Amino acid sequence: MNMLNKKFLLTIAFIILAVLIPVVIKAPYQLHILILIIIWAIIGTSWNLLGGYAGQVSFGHAAFFGLGAYSAGLLTLHCALSPWWGILLGPLVAALAALPIGMICFRLRGPYFALAMLALGEIFRLVFLNLTDFTNGAKGILIMPAITNKMFYYYTGLGMLALTLLATYLIVNSKIGYYLVSIREDQDAATSLGIPTTLYKNLALLPSAFFTGLAGAFYMNYVAFIDPNIVFNLTNVSVMVILVVMLGGVATTWGPTIGAAIYIFLGEYFRTTLGSANVLIFGILVCLIIMFLPNGIAGELDLLKRLTQRKKASLSGGV
């Protein structure tokens, strides 16, 4: 009870902190970095629900991200509607696209889902690249954003992230969540207990796709330019989200958010300070973190704690 209370209070403190940041940091550049962190935190949290809790690793979340982004972009291109309508449409389109994939792949064991998702992301990229009449192809969609106030994007994004975290938290701490973890740990045992595994894997995939689509639609509104090679990108979206979650901590509530914050912030920091070696050094650092903290920063807190405590102990021993 006490612990739960503490956790609750800290969450409230975090929310207040997040809400107050723009009051302290008014500089648009810093807000821009925070907005990027929020976008990646949303994608990471969505991926984590499926890949972390349910253990169904997706190598193609770019498919959902891109569909969300293109839903917003195409509304503007063809219907002359504000791309903000994409915030409503994008997540639905992404979830709809996830449905058949889940229905087919989740019947199978092994790497089929990972491979199917990998293919799905690439298929969407190629389709959107070649349907030039509908999507503008590689020329992409360029819009002039109606709202340019960074504060607005920050709070909208923050609201979306809160929604994503809340939905994930509720799912994970409900019966569904326990089922998902049991499927991840031992699918045979789960089946023998009467858990309909295919159904519950789908129940993890749909919200995951939904919120990734939401992030995509928000991205289109914020960055104001997309093309298929950007939003359906295998390395810069699908693999990057996995890195973000691994850095932060797989199957933890706050892991993806921490991962996104570290990933984006360090990436930008290195880029502006280290010159041409920035990508190399950043890559080495990510490798080191993944090697020595395989459960991510939020997942290895016990280890970090033990390390700091041992240090303290030896210090006091020396004295």
Report the residue from 23, 144, 315, 319 that binds other proteins according to the rule CB under 8 A.
Answer: 144
297 interacts with other proteins by CB under 8 A: yes
Give the Cα separation of 115 and 96 in Å (integer). 19
Q: How far is the CB of 287 from other proteins (least distance, A)?
A: 17
Read off φ and ψ for residue 49, nearest 5 degrees: -60, -45
Read off φ and ψ for residue 293, nearest 5 degrees: -125, 70
DSSP E strand stretches across 121-241: 141-142, 225-226
Q: How many residues bind other proteins (CB under 8 A)?
A: 55
Report the residue from 269, 294, 307, 310 that binds other proteins according to the rule CB under 8 A.
Answer: 269
* Burial class of 284 by CB neighbour count within 10 A (0 to 12, 13 to 18, 19+): exposed
74 interacts with other proteins by CB under 8 A: no
Residue with smaller CB distance to other proteins, 18 or 92: 18
Give the Cα separation of 251 and 54 in Å (integer). 9
Within 8 A by CB and 6+ apart from 66, the residues are 121, 124, 125, 128, 216, 226, 228, 231, 232, 237
Q: How far is the CB of 137 from other proteins (least distance, A)?
A: 5
Give the other-Cβ count within 10 Å of 162's Cβ. 15
Structure tokens at 21: 């940041």
17 interacts with other proteins by CB under 8 A: yes
Residue 110's beta-bridge partner residues? none
258 interacts with other proteins by CB under 8 A: yes
Residue 141's beta-bridge partner residues? 226
Residue with smaller CB distance to other proteins, 33 or 38: 33
**Are 249 and 300 within 8 A, CB to CB?**
yes
Residue 142's beta-bridge partner residues? 225
Residue with smaller CB distance to other proteins, 36 or 204: 36
Within 8 A by CB and 6+ apart from 164, the residues are 41, 42, 45, 46, 211, 214
263 interacts with other proteins by CB under 8 A: no
Q: How far is the CB of 197 from other proteins (least distance, A)?
A: 31
Residue with smaller CB distance to other proteins, 153 or 210: 153
72 interacts with other proteins by CB under 8 A: no
Site string for other proteins, 200-239 (x = CB under 8 A): -----------------------xxx-x-xx-----x---
* Stretch of 85-93, 157-165, 198-206, 275-283 contacting other proteins, by CB under 8 A: 275-283
Residue with smaller CB distance to other proteins, 40 or 106: 40
Q: Which residues of this protein are in contact with other proteins, per CB under 8 A?
A: 3, 6-7, 10, 13-14, 17, 21, 25, 27-30, 32-34, 36, 129-130, 132, 137-140, 142-145, 148, 223-225, 227, 229-230, 236, 254, 258, 261-262, 265, 268-269, 271-272, 275-276, 278-279, 297-298, 301-302, 304-305
